[in-house]
Amino acid sequence: MLALKKWIFLLLIIFLANENILAQEDSLLIPVLHLKKDTVLKFNPKKAIVRSAIIPGWGQITNKKIWKVPLVYGALGTTAFLFRRNIIQYRDSKSAYILATDNDPTNDDQIKQPYYSVKDQPERIREFRNAVRQNVDYCAVFFILVWGLNVADAAVDAHLKSFDVSDDLSIQFKAGYSPMARTNGLSLVMTIK
């Protein structure tokens, strides 16, 4: 755990040290179309994906969606907290099961609560231990899924940054004759530019 914190701290220092270089090169944005006064810029999805995969939330910061970072860390923190809590419960229930089934009454003092009250029913302790072990696995899967959703969100947001939401859309409804159906009606016309 301490080694992981050191790596995260090192990556954060590298990121902050290179922030001035990134800003000078303007590597976050790639010019796509030059208009008279305005420039439409496209965010680089590959950069957002890689950054979000390395450090959760970095892709959202790259896409200028900083408000999403607390949501990402809230979801990851919740799953990590539940994972840790279930690991502790698993270790306690495993120890209690071993002590309850060793047929040595002198070890019963070492059984922690709430397992001490059911020390005469080791099967209940074993069932609880197995259920907690399953919850540990679920928490690990949910952590990976949330991390993946973080990466997918950064990728989709970067792709849709240059999406046109102006009032001049290329889809229109028109009344007309359909030669295929040989009827009059309302048609959906899409103009591709």
- Long-range contacts of the stretch 185-188 (C-beta < 8 A, 24+): none
Type of residue numbered 189:
V
Type of residue numbered 32:
V
Q: How far apart are CA 119 and CA 192, in angstroms?
A: 73
For residue 16, give every residue at least 6 positions away whose Cβ sits within 8 Å of its Cβ, in sequence order, or none: none
Q: What confidence score (pLDDT) does residue 15 get?
A: 54
Q: What confidence score (pLDDT) does residue 22 get?
A: 43
| Ordered per-residue pLDDT tens for the chain, 193 residues | 666 666 666 555 555 544 444 444 444 444 444 444 443 456 789 999 999 999 999 999 999 999 999 999 999 999 999 999 999 999 998 888 888 888 776 676 677 777 666 667 788 888 989 999 999 999 999 999 999 999 999 999 998 887 766 666 677 777 877 788 888 887 777 776 6
Q: What confidence score (pLDDT) does residue 10 get?
A: 58
Prior bond of 114 cis (ω within 30°): yes
pTM of this structure: 0.62
For residue 116, give every residue at least 6 positions away whose Cβ sits within 8 Å of its Cβ, in sequence order, or none: 96, 108
Q: Of 67, 70, 56, whose CA–CA distance to 152 is shortest?
A: 56
In 3-state terms, what secondary structure has residue 112?
A: coil
